[in-house]
Amino acid sequence: MKKSKLNLLTEASFHGEEFTDIVNKASLVLNNPLVIISNSYNIISYSTTFPVDDTAWVNATKRGYITLEFGATLNNWNNHVDTSQTIDCVTVSTISKYTRRFFKLIYKNKLMGYLNVTDVNNYLNKIDDETYQLVANIIAKEIAFTHTDNLNRTTSFEEILLELSNENFINKLHFLDRISSSKINIHKEYQIACIDLKNFTSYNAREDTFKNEIFSFFSNGSIIINNQLLIILCDLSKNKKNNFNIRLETYLKKKNLVMGISDTFHDLFEFKRFEIEATKSIQLRSLLLKEESFIFYNQVKHYDLIMKFDENQLTYYCNQKLFQIYLEESNESNDYIKTLRTYLETNNSVKETADLLFIHRNTVNYRMLKIKELLGIDNSQALLANELLFSCYILQIIHAKRNHLI
């Protein structure tokens, strides 16, 4: 009795056949060419069962990875789910004349990668969802066991970074054992830059323009995408030339992107801690006087510290008269608190305060007189000025938390 293509696939998996053979048998089941993509967006394998006259498909399989910008789009999976299908998938018809359908490869609740089915040979909807799901499950299991086991000692640097980002290592000894056969230097000067990709979408699967643009700023960097973030491990001390800050700010504004940059660190195992610093920079950016497109953690570190305390604790450390002013105007625009904080941050400059708040200088003078009146003090004393500025930061955090702004 002739066995079905699906039976041949399940038997191949059960008997531990080579991963490439299993991918080819899966391709025959779905009657279309397949590409298997890792969760670091490298191409693990692809089928050779059907000829593919598609430039984007051929280019991707030759270079061994998908473009950074299309990887970012897959990372924003929930924004692109094909709601016309009953199975969890993303359907893309804008890359070339062929439609592609992507399925998550999940084993034991862990994302192993993605299955790309391209309708070169057969309409995608001619295969039922149950078959797609079964094929995806088999390939996910193969990646988890056979394929990963074979590659454990030749894992790319980017895959190590992805494991660090996902906190997959039990402890530092586990991490050191994982990289023991590599040439990774874990003790050097590093920083992490993160770009928020929540609203980023691109179906460019041909040329890796986004990646090339990023590397034009971080030529010594390594890039991964995880949890809707583009994460760059770099050494910025080598990039402070040729108006780097101005060029980066201009580029990010043009792309409508925001970047946070961590402090410097010297132990790669601390990767996650400094990734969090970079994401905190993005999260707390709105509290700064100027909302720039890239923010160093050092600019928002004081806010991050204040956020670790609850409101009762914060009010204890806040100047009580200033807190009372906040309570009295909290349902309005907090003009007095904003004006005082801006005035103190600009070294008591009426002009800069007026420019930053887009108000007239006379308005600044009036508000500052009123604040001194309400406080019953003279804010010209250095120690008092420091106390008032710190209290303004506390009130910013209280206000932001109350209004769910951070």
Residue type for 335, please?
A: D
DSSP string of 233-268?
EE-GGG---TTHHHHHHHHHHHHT--EEEPPPBS-G
Q: How confident is the model at residue 151 (pLDDT cuts 50, 70, 90)?
A: very low
Cα(285)–Cα(292) distance, rounded to whole angstroms? 8
Higher pLDDT, 285 or 40: 285
In the chain, % helix, strand, coil (3-state, to 5) comes to 50, 15, 35
For residue 89, pLDDT beyond 70: yes
Least confident window among 32-41, 359-368, 382-391: 382-391
Name which residue leads in pLDDT, 306 or 152.
306
25 contacts 12 by C-beta, under 8 angstroms? yes
- Alpha-carbon distance 262 to 380, whole Å? 34
| 3-state SS assignment for residue 38 | strand
Q: Indicate whether 12 pLDDT > 80.
A: yes
pLDDT tens digits, 205-219: 888 899 999 999 998
Q: Comparing 406 with 104, which gets the higher pLDDT?
A: 104
Q: Which of 74-88, 226-240, 299-313 has the lowest mean pLDDT?
A: 226-240
- For the chain, the average pLDDT equals 90
Question: What is the tens place of the pLDDT at every residue in 311-359?
Answer: 999 999 999 999 999 998 765 567 899 999 999 999 999 999 999 999 9
Tokens of 153: 């000692």
Confidence of residue 153 (pLDDT cuts 50, 70, 90): very low
Q: Tell me, letter by letter, the H, E, C secondary structure of 353-406.
A: HHHHHCCCHHHHHHHHHHHHHHHCCCCCCHHHHHHHHHHHHHHHHHHHHHCCCC
**Which of 290, 328, 311 shows the shortest CA–CA distance to 396?**
311
Q: What is the mean pLDDT of residues 267-272?
A: 96
Q: pLDDT for 217-246, tens place per residue?
A: 998 899 999 989 999 999 887 666 668 889
Q: pLDDT class for 159, splitting at 50, 70, 90?
A: confident
Query: In what order do the strands lie in the sheet containing 222-226?
Result: 222-226, 229-234, 191-196, 259-261, 294-296
Q: Contact, 261 vs 192, CB < 8 A?
A: yes
Note the pLDDT of residue 379: 59
pLDDT band, residue 266 (cuts 50/70/90) = very high
For residue 203, pLDDT over 90 is answered with no
> Quick one: pLDDT at residue 48?
96
Beta partners for residue 45, in sequence order? 36
Check residue 206 and give its pLDDT. 80
- Find, among 143, 182, 139, 136, the residue nearest to 161 by Cα: 182
Q: In the predicted model, is pLDDT for residue 11 greater than 70?
A: yes
Give the Cα-Cα-Cα angle 24, 99, 210 (nearest 5 degrees): 95
Residue 405 has pLDDT above 90, yes or no: no
- Residue 305: how many CA atoms within 13 Å on its side-chain side? 9
What's the confidence (pLDDT) of residue 193?
97
Task: Name, in order, each residue with C-beta under 8 angstroms of 374's C-beta and a sequence gap of 6 or more.
Answer: 321, 325, 336
- Per-residue pLDDT of 252-263, as tens digits, reads 999 999 999 999
Angle at 45 between CA 39 and CA 47, to 5 degrees: 135
Residue 26 has pLDDT above 60, yes or no: yes
Q: What's CA 343's distance to the chain center, in Å?
A: 35
What percent of the chain has a predicted confidence (pLDDT) above 90? 76
Report how far residue 29's alpha carbon sits from residue 127's, in angstroms, rounded to the nearest whole number: 9
Q: How far is CA 149 from CA 19, 70, 98, 144, 274, in A?
A: 12, 27, 34, 8, 29
Q: What is the DSSP string of 150-191?
A: HHGGG--HHHHHHHHHTT--SSHHHHHHHTTTS----SS-BE
Contacts of 114 (CB under 8 A, 6+ apart): 36, 37, 39, 74, 102, 103, 104, 105
State the pLDDT at residue 162: 92
pLDDT for 137? 96
Q: Which of 9, 71, 72, 64 is nearest to 42 (CA)?
A: 64
What is the predicted pLDDT for the residue at 377?
78
What is the per-residue pLDDT across 104-149, written as a single tens digit (0 to 9) for each?
999 999 899 999 999 999 999 999 999 999 999 999 999 988 755 4
Which distant-in-sequence residues (6+ apart) come within 8 Å of 393 by Cβ?
302, 303, 306, 341
pLDDT band at 155 (very low <50, low <70, confident <90, very high): low
Share of the chain above pLDDT 70, in %: 93
pLDDT at 382: 65
Look at phi and psi of residue 259 and say left if phi exceeds 0, alpha if psi is from -120 to 50, else beta. beta
pLDDT at residue 152 in the model: 44
Question: Exposed, middle or buried by CB within 10 Å (0-12, 13-18, 19+), for 347?
Answer: exposed
